[in-house]
Amino acid sequence: MNAKVIGTGWQLPAYEADNHYLATLVETSDEWIRERTGIVKRHLAKEETTTSLAAGAARKALADAGLQAEELDLLMVATITPDTDTPSTACRVQAELGAVNAVAFDVSAACAGFLYGLHIADAFIKSGIYRNVLLIGAETLSKLVDWTDRGTCILFGDGAGAAVLTAASEGGIIAQSVGSNGSKWDVLFCMGRPNRNPLHEDGKESGYLQMEGQEVFKFAVKTVPACIEQVLTEAGLSADAVDCYLLHQANQRIIQSVAKRLKQPEEKFPMNIDQCANTSSASLPILLAQMKEQGRLHPGDHLVLSGFGAGLTWGACVMIW
């Protein structure tokens, strides 16, 4: 049995901030952001939370799949921006949905979180332990971003995407690979809240996201094509045989570079980074759900999904739609 996506959904916060708005906060310009990243605007949470966005996307995915929340066996939320350190966002979403029969936990793998989640879902489904899985990528990165740092604040957006997977005898995920390299943890990290324990203060100063942008860029353009080539070999497919490559929406130039390395036309690499910016673990499921909604995915299509992020983490999979 393979894990097959049978429903998708997405949800973005109502508030939209364009590049001109960011130019009022930091020294930047619409032109610089568009040219270097492809981003035009992003949605930022004002009223919404990671939990509410996740639940919104999940309800749509369940309706799309024609499944009741009670039928879910496993509910995972890939996120690095939970509303509460504990309990997990997944438990809170479980309560919102009434997914009373599901075991619920979060997956922390930054922008590769959705790929890690697919990996876990596939393993549980293949083993026969669970049948129906809800996987959500949800983030409110706006709360981790330093809004005085132009090197990071222009990149990120908030949102959520969800996919319902079930056991299928045909199609679904046919090959996958995930990887981690913790020795490079410090090229993209967030220390979080300073520790005020009287026995041990940790001296943390910044609780905001910090990034060496060029290091991450170089890692992405090297690792993503290699990882995709690996899963294509495993699936016995050529790059030409793939109908659509859905990549983590981090930077338009990264996506273009991957297309070039794989010798594939850019038209096979759909993008929504212009509208959504980088929503970390939510970027792939939002893109997938929007593609489905727009009727751009057809039964039997060969799709490649790939992402990368802090950790460092990365992953790719091949699925037959």
| Cis, peptide link before residue 265, omega less than 30° from 0 | no
For residue 59, CA distances in Å to 55, 148, 246 come to 6, 35, 23
Site string for ligand UT7, 230-249 (x = CB under 6 A): --------------------
Q: What does the alpha-carbon distance between residue 30 and residue 86 come to, in Å, rounded to a whole number?
A: 38
Task: Decide if residue 111 touches ligand UT7 (CB under 6 A).
Answer: yes
167 is written with which tokens?
Answer: 């056991």
For residue 61, CA distances in Å to 7, 66, 111, 183 come to 5, 8, 20, 36
Task: Decide if residue 222 touches ligand UT7 (CB under 6 A).
Answer: no
Shortest separation between residue 140's beta carbon and ligand UT7, angstroms: 15
Contact residue for ligand UT7 among 34, 126, 150, 268 (CB under 6 A): 150
**111 among known catalytic residues:** yes
**153 among known catalytic residues:** no
**195 among known catalytic residues:** no
Q: Measured from the CB atom, is 155 or 160 closer to ligand UT7?
A: 155
For residue 150, CA distances in Å to 215, 268, 290 come to 17, 31, 29
Q: What does the alpha-carbon distance between residue 44 and residue 9 come to, in Å, rounded to a whole number?
A: 18
Site string for ligand UT7, 27-46 (x = CB under 6 A): -x---x---xx---------
Task: Decide if residue 214 touches ligand UT7 (CB under 6 A).
Answer: yes
Binding residues (CB under 6 A) for ligand UT7: these are 28, 32, 36-37, 111, 150-151, 154-155, 211, 213-214, 216-217, 220, 250-251, 278, 309
Question: Which amino acids are annotated catalytic?
Answer: 111, 248, 278
